[in-house]
Amino acid sequence: MLSFMGKYVRIVDAVNYRMGRIMMYFIFVMVAILLWSSISKTFFLPSLWTLEIAQFAMVAYYVLGGPYSMQQGSHVRMDLFYGAWSDKKKAQIDAITVLFLIFYLGVMLYGAYDSTSYSFQYGERSPTAWRPYLWPIKVIMCFGIFMMLLQSISELFKDIATLKGVDL
């Protein structure tokens, strides 16, 4: 069982690490889009697409960078008690709380899949003047939530290994 957990952790961590490193640079994409928006509003006719594309880029940045953030332990955590605990105590608490996260992400993935299939089926578009199709960003959201779910399971496996005294 530990060999399966080790392989799973290595594969999921490697994929999410690479994806996170790529998504780090998406902040520059958003800056470029918003810079173009400012320039076009100042000197030309304002572009209809810039604000919505910036929002879509932010969603992609957030949901695809989330698993990397979780992997690196750089998400927000209340450290009032946690910092003073031993590694085993941290692993115990993390193993319990990650189960709630896995449940939450499962519900989120179910809803995201349902929303994405609706978007495909009915050709759902944004209600703005530009009216882009919404399925591309919904597919990205489904993929990001799925990768976060996989990373959560990886973190659970790491906590179990810590409790057993094994290093993955």
Q: Mean pLDDT throughout 130-140? A: 95
For the chain, percent of residues with pLDDT exceeding 90: 79
125 DSSP β-pair partners: 133
Q: Mean pLDDT throughout 61-87? A: 88
As a whole number of angstroms, the distance between CA 133 and CA 120 comes to: 9
And the tokens for 149?
Answer: 């779910």
Identify the pLDDT of residue 81. 84
133 DSSP β-pair partners: 125
Residue 71: pLDDT band with limits 50, 70, 90: very high
- Please write the tens of the pLDDT for every residue from 77-121: 777 888 888 999 999 999 999 999 999 999 999 999 999 999 999
Range of the domain at 12: 2-164
With a cut of 90, say whether residue 129 has pLDDT above it: no
And the tokens for 56?
Answer: 């879509």
* Location of structure tokens 């949901």: 63
Q: Share the mean pLDDT of the chain.
A: 93
- Please write the tens of the pLDDT for every residue from 19-50: 999 999 999 999 999 999 999 988 988 888 88
Nearest to 109 by CA among 76, 81, 150: 150
Phi-psi region of 131 (alpha: psi -120 to 50; beta: other; left: phi over 0): left
Identify the pLDDT of residue 90. 92
Residue 159: pLDDT band with limits 50, 70, 90: very high
Q: Mean pLDDT throughout 67-82? A: 85
As a whole number of angstroms, the distance between CA 38 and CA 30 comes to: 12
Identify the pLDDT of residue 108. 97
* Cut 0.75: pTM above it: yes
As a whole number of angstroms, the distance between CA 158 and CA 87 comes to: 12
Identify the pLDDT of residue 80. 82
Do the beta carbons of residue 20 and residue 144 sit within 8 Å?
Answer: no
Identify the pLDDT of residue 149. 98
As a whole number of angstroms, the distance between CA 159 and CA 54 comes to: 37
Report the domain count for the chain: 1
As a whole number of angstroms, the distance between CA 152 and CA 137 comes to: 22
As a whole number of angstroms, the distance between CA 119 and CA 100 comes to: 28
Phi-psi region of 73 (alpha: psi -120 to 50; beta: other; left: phi over 0): left
